Amino acid sequence: MSETDDRHSEKMRKIQAARAKIMAGKTIERGLVIVHTGAGKGKSTAAFGMVCRMIGHGRRVAIVQFIKGAMQTGEKAVFDAFPDQVEFRPMGEGFTWDTQDRARDIATATAAWHVAKARILDPEIDMVVCDELNVALRYDYAPLDDVLATLQDKPQSKHVVITGRNAPDELIARADLVTEMTLVKHPFRSGVKAQEGIEF
Amino acid sequence: MSETDDRHSEKMRKIQAARAKIMAGKTIERGLVIVHTGAGKGKSTAAFGMVCRMIGHGRRVAIVQFIKGAMQTGEKAVFDAFPDQVEFRPMGEGFTWDTQDRARDIATATAAWHVAKARILDPEIDMVVCDELNVALRYDYAPLDDVLATLQDKPQSKHVVITGRNAPDELIARADLVTEMTLVKHPFRSGVKAQEGIEF
């Protein structure tokens, strides 16, 4: 083994030891409130990736979509393969700028929130994804106070994943895990259209 | 309809029109080089969410894992449900700080790259995920020049998704879509351990 390799081994041994020490202190297992926000891509997609993990572990998941309606046709086919584990509820009627009717948007978001709330409080369900709820909260289409109160009352082991741009500060304060997806580069800027598997 | 609702309708109509105009200019359909980087969570998870979309659209996907070995047990169960569409190749032998053997890490990463390269060049596969390739590139465990050359030579319609912290500048320059996942808040900091469905 060369000197470089020795130095590398020593360095890696130190990283390993430091990491083991950190992990030994992590003993709490509890349901998390997870927020994916920011203007970048991957907020909903990462939530759906978590749903896949839960499916693989035999858990039950509910997904409530607040804004997008016809999107996510790709994921739906996968969820349909696990009907006993996944309940998928697309409750949005398209983007708000497609409806042009504030009263209807509020009614739609309120109905979606009632469905999501019941699943968050249901101890039989392990994870609830509230997809694009942040957008509904931002336009006051869904009641932030009730969302925060429901997260307070949720079963201890329940994971709740909330996606969408502009997550409210109060939600970020309550959340356990917050990731901001930041756009570095986007192909739409060079004329590439939305494509199967990437955007939907 | 109240005055407020009228104003809202008008505003939404303008957003809708502007959006329609933008989307009409997006006519190019081609395979994308997609990079998920940054210190936050969701890089691999969002890639696996894209895999789900591709599955739903009947496409074929190969996933090569460069660093993580035993992780992603959750997703694997889902991929196994679609054996004709998904090839999952966990090629890493644990994190580098667990192996403490630079020569072996290089051999492992090189072998993984050869598997990934063959799939990137194979016109029968619609998407290749190179999970944690950025980490291998950063430590010079995988050859950046060959990665860039292979992306240049790939079939036109092929999507390639590359994840991991510290994506090299040359890769970002070549990529079509780059998202940085930024950590805002992490539960490990308050003693919560890695949990099924969230971390693996």
Q: A193 pLDDT exceeds 50?
A: yes
Contact B86, B118 (CB under 8 A): no
Predicted confidence band at A121 (pLDDT cuts at 50, 70, 90)? very high
State whether A16 and B103 contact (CB < 8 Å): no
Which residues does B12 contact at the CB level (< 8 Å), separation at least 6?
Answer: A96, A97, A98, A99, A100
- Predicted confidence at residue B70, as pLDDT, reads 42
Q: B85 pLDDT exceeds 80?
A: yes
Percentage above 70 pLDDT, chain B:
80
CATH architecture of B31-190: 3-Layer(aba) Sandwich (3.40)
Pairwise pLDDT comparison (B188 vs A21), residue with the higher score: A21
Average pLDDT over residues A22-37: 78
What's the CA gap between A49 and A40, in Å, rounded? 16
Report ipTM (2 d.p.): 0.73
Please name the residue of chain A whose CA is at the shortest distance from the CA of residue B85.
Answer: A78
- The CATH label, of 3.40.50.10440, 3.30.43.10, 3.40.50.300, 3.30.420.40, for the domain at A30-190 is 3.40.50.300
Scored b (16 or more CB within 10 A) or e, B137-168 reads beeebbbeeebbebbeebeeebbbbbbbbebb
In this complex, which of B25, B55, B198 lies closest to A159 when CB atoms are compared? Answer: B198
In this complex, which of B48, B178, B185 lies closest to A52 when CB atoms are compared? Answer: B48
Please name the residue of chain A whose CA is at the shortest distance from the CA of residue B139.
Answer: A8
Average pLDDT over residues A52-61: 92
Please name the residue of chain A whose CA is at the shortest distance from the CA of residue B98.
Answer: A16
Contact B35, B60 (CB under 8 A): no
What's the CA gap between A104 and B62, in Å, rounded? 43
Q: A18 pLDDT exceeds 90?
A: no
Q: A70 pLDDT exceeds 50?
A: no
* Residue A6: Cβ within 10 Å count: 11
Average pLDDT over residues A90-105: 72
Say yes or no: A26 contacts chain B, CB-CB below 8 A.
yes
Predicted confidence band at A71 (pLDDT cuts at 50, 70, 90)? very low
In this complex, which of B82, B102, B191 lies closest to A27 when CB atoms are compared? Answer: B191
